[in-house]
Structure 1
Amino acid sequence: MKLHPIVLLALLTVACKDKPKPVVTSIPHPTISTDGTRITFPDSLMMSPFTTQPARSGAIRTDFSAPGHVAAMVLRSTENPAERLVLFDEPSLSDNYTAILQHRINIQTERGNLERVKDLQAHGAASGKEVIEAQTQLANEEAAIISDEATLKLAGFDPEALRKARPNTILVVCEIPENQFGSIRKGLVCRLNFTAFPNERFVGVIDNVNDYVDNTTRQIKLRISVANPDGRLKAGMFAQAEFGVSEGNLMTVSRDAIVTVQGRDYVFIQTGPRAVERRAVELGQQRADRVVVQNGLKENDQVVTANVLQLKGLSFGY
């Protein structure tokens, strides 16, 4: 049986009236403070992607290495046991060291001569000219030794320390970057690996840190003394020095927790079950995947370490 079009339309109208209309609900959004420093999420589900780690202080250790070479060997002099025989890998440095030893002898001689001439002058047996000549000779020797000592120091050696160095010792000279200088000090123990003995580790001690930074390379020379009782280590051998420096207890956070905006660094702290707060921090050096925080955090602050870029967008509006 066919229905009249008017009757069919009426039936469809009634059917549409009986079907319930879907309820449209609004999507929840986080609430952000006017200055963007505080973000509050509407429920814990929306907060769950932003996992945290507590800020903790701990011992920080810096490990780095630097290439070097055996620049000198120290032996006991057979002719004069009180003096040290130093064999340098550069002949010119040997000349400088020998000249310094000779200047020391000459200075003692000239000082004695000056005193003798002054005494003769006091008794009328020497002229003022002879005194001036003796003074000039002494001044020349003192100037010459300063020049030779400066040359040795530029190469990483202290002439006085060489005269007192322990026999059967090698002296390794290496260079470290200027930015590592704060971690290095005299007396620090280090380990060395020599190319000639790849499977052995030798213990050394830093006994000198140069007083200047190279203007071109921005490197600082260190001198490391290593015991060499069997004489296996020779002048000129290459080495790799490994340093491990404890920097004390410092607070660090994951590198992933840091955001930088217009030159300033920030982290986000969970301050409640559904609340996050933006915090400005002052950072120190990076150690592996951790960054030292010098100011802005306190112990056990819950630092957000996941999906931080989303918080950055919410906090700063982009």
Structure 2
Amino acid sequence: MTFRPILIGLVFLAMACQEKPKTAVKSIPRPTISTDGVRIMFPDLVMMRPFTTQPARLAAIRTDFSAPGHVAAMVVRSVETPSERLVLFDDPGLSDNYTAILQHRNNIQTQKGNLDRIKDLQAHGAASGKEVIEAQTQLANEEAAIISDEATLKLAGFDPKALRVARPNTILVVCEIPENQFGSIRQGLVCTLNFTAFPNERFVGRIDNVNDYVDNTTRQIKLRISVANPDGRLKAGMFATVQFGVTEGNFMTTSRDAVVTVQGRDYVFVQTGPQSIERRAVQLGQQRDDRVVVQSGLKVNDKVVTANVLQLKGLSFGY
């Protein structure tokens, strides 16, 4: 009889020592991200709640901006030949390029005349085919050389043809504007300039040329502005601040909090479905209060995410 309680105790002890069944651990749902990071799909609406949105909208915006510049060249009449123009650059290298272009032009005219003469002599049996080929080669060399010098001037913001017909007693100001301001700039636009040497005066200029390329490093575009200089007070090399005309109108805007910048480019995130968000590259303009002008990348009423944007940045770009 005494063994029965002991046996019962051993049974309970064995039962207590048995391993309890494991409870299945549910995996935490995670968003799905496209290979290029552009699209983010959330598994449920709960995870979407922190990413509140505001619609992109049109708003009446007053835009104006300024940019630093300098007098890169001045145009004056030649003393020896009043009908000719002299261009005085602040960069001696550009002076050499422009002088070389003028020389190449003269050489090209000479070589064309020489080629025509030799071809005529060949037609009458007084010149050989070899002489024609040599004349053609000399002409081709001059034409190739002028292209190189013209490209150098254009990269600096000058059009060689425009320089040859520029008005005497004019200065040429070169300035650079950010790529995202390009939409409000056009050739012929009037602007005002303030020169460091004459801080209390305003000079009127006009955009003569907008460069054909954007600098890959700075994302800037060169402009050339002509300013009348009848009394010769403004000199090559002087610094100026260029104030561009004010434009008023309806522009696409979004909250400044919606924008993230990665490697010099601006992005926003747009809700495209109940559980989906898409990254958009945008070109930005000026900021007014808490809104920023969006020149491209958005449409009216796009649902732009304005809260917890840095989390989306991390998901989209992987950091």
- Residue 197 of structure 1: CA displacement? 0.5
SS of the residue 2:245 aligns to: strand
Unaligned runs of 5+ residues in structure 1 are 1-34, 37-54, 267-281, 298-307, 310-318
The separation in 2 between residues aligned to 1:178 and 1:292, in whole angstroms, is 14
Q: From the superposition, tell whether residues 225 and 129 of structure 1 become closer, same or farther in structure 2 (CA, over 3 Å).
A: same
Structure 2 length normalisation: TM-score? 0.65
The separation in 2 between residues aligned to 1:252 and 1:178, in whole angstroms, is 18
Q: Is the 8 A contact 1:183 1:247 kept in 2?
A: no
What is the match of residue 164 of structure 1? Answer: 165
What is the match of residue 269 of structure 2? Answer: 263
Q: From the superposition, tell whether residues 130 and 195 of structure 1 become closer, same or farther in structure 2 (CA, over 3 Å).
A: same
Residues 1:238 and 2:218 aligned together? no
What is the match of residue 213 of structure 2? Answer: 212
**Identity over aligned pairs, percent:** 79
- Residue 296 of structure 1: CA displacement? 4.4
Q: From the superposition, tell whether residues 121 and 69 of structure 1 become closer, same or farther in structure 2 (CA, over 3 Å).
A: same
What is the match of residue 288 of structure 2? Answer: 288
SS of the residue 2:94 aligns to: helix
What is the match of residue 133 of structure 1? Answer: 134
The separation in 1 between residues aligned to 2:78 and 2:97, in whole angstroms, is 17
Q: From the superposition, tell whether residues 57 and 219 of structure 1 become closer, same or farther in structure 2 (CA, over 3 Å).
A: closer
Q: Which letter does structure 1 place at the counterpart of 2:287? A: R
Q: From the superposition, tell whether residues 153 and 135 of structure 1 become closer, same or farther in structure 2 (CA, over 3 Å).
A: same
**1:77-108 deviations in whole A, cap 9, x for unaligned?**
22333321000001111111111111111111
Q: From the superposition, tell whether residues 253 and 102 of structure 1 become closer, same or farther in structure 2 (CA, over 3 Å).
A: closer
Structure 1 length normalisation: TM-score? 0.65
The separation in 2 between residues aligned to 1:249 and 1:200, in whole angstroms, is 32
Residues 270-285 of structure 1: matches in 2 within 5 Å? 285=285
What is the match of residue 250 of structure 2? Answer: 249
SS of the residue 1:208 aligns to: strand
The separation in 2 between residues aligned to 1:296 and 1:234, in whole angstroms, is 48
- Residue 56 of structure 1: CA displacement? 7.4
Q: From the superposition, tell whether residues 247 and 132 of structure 1 become closer, same or farther in structure 2 (CA, over 3 Å).
A: farther
The separation in 2 between residues aligned to 1:129 and 1:173, in whole angstroms, is 48
Q: Which letter does structure 1 place at the counterpart of 2:269? A: G
Q: Is the 8 A contact 2:73 2:88 kept in 1?
A: yes
SS of the residue 2:64 aligns to: strand
Q: Is the 8 A contact 1:61 1:244 kept in 2?
A: no
**1:87-138 deviations in whole A, cap 9, x for unaligned?**
0001111111111111111111110000000000001000001001110111
**1:252-295 deviations in whole A, cap 9, x for unaligned?**
58869x899x93379xxxxxxxxxxxxxxx99755311345864
- Residue 216 of structure 1: CA displacement? 1.9
What is the match of residue 305 of structure 1? Answer: none
What is the match of residue 16 of structure 1? Answer: none
The separation in 1 between residues aligned to 2:228 and 2:90, in whole angstroms, is 17
Q: Which letter does structure 2 place at the counterpart of 1:288? A: R
The separation in 1 between residues aligned to 2:58 and 2:140, in whole angstroms, is 61
What is the match of residue 312 of structure 1? Answer: none
The separation in 2 between residues aligned to 1:118 and 1:56, in whole angstroms, is 67
- Residue 151 of structure 1: CA displacement? 1.1
Q: From the superposition, tell whether residues 134 and 224 of structure 1 become closer, same or farther in structure 2 (CA, over 3 Å).
A: same
- Residue 176 of structure 1: CA displacement? 1.1
The separation in 2 between residues aligned to 1:204 and 1:177, in whole angstroms, is 19
Q: Which letter does structure 1 place at the counterpart of 2:137? A: T
Q: Name which of structure 1's ranges 287-296 and 169-178 shifts more when overlaid on structure 2.
A: 287-296
- Residue 61 of structure 1: CA displacement? 3.1
Q: Is the 8 A contact 1:259 1:265 kept in 2?
A: no
Q: Which letter does structure 2 place at the counterpart of 1:138? A: L
Could you say which structure has the larger radius of gyration?
Answer: 1
The separation in 2 between residues aligned to 1:253 and 1:154, in whole angstroms, is 35
SS of the residue 1:263 aligns to: strand
What is the match of residue 186 of structure 2? Answer: 185
Residues 1-318 of structure 1: matches in 2 within 5 Å? 57-58=59-60, 60-246=61-247, 248-250=249-251, 263-264=269-270, 285=285, 287-289=287-289, 290-292=291-293, 295-296=299-300
**1:34-91 deviations in whole A, cap 9, x for unaligned?**
x89xxxxxxxxxxxxxxxxxx8753x33211111110100011223333210000011
Q: Is the 8 A contact 2:178 2:221 kept in 1?
A: yes
SS of the residue 1:66 aligns to: strand
Unaligned runs of 5+ residues in structure 2 are 1-44, 47-56, 261-267, 273-279, 308-319
Paired residues, what number?
242
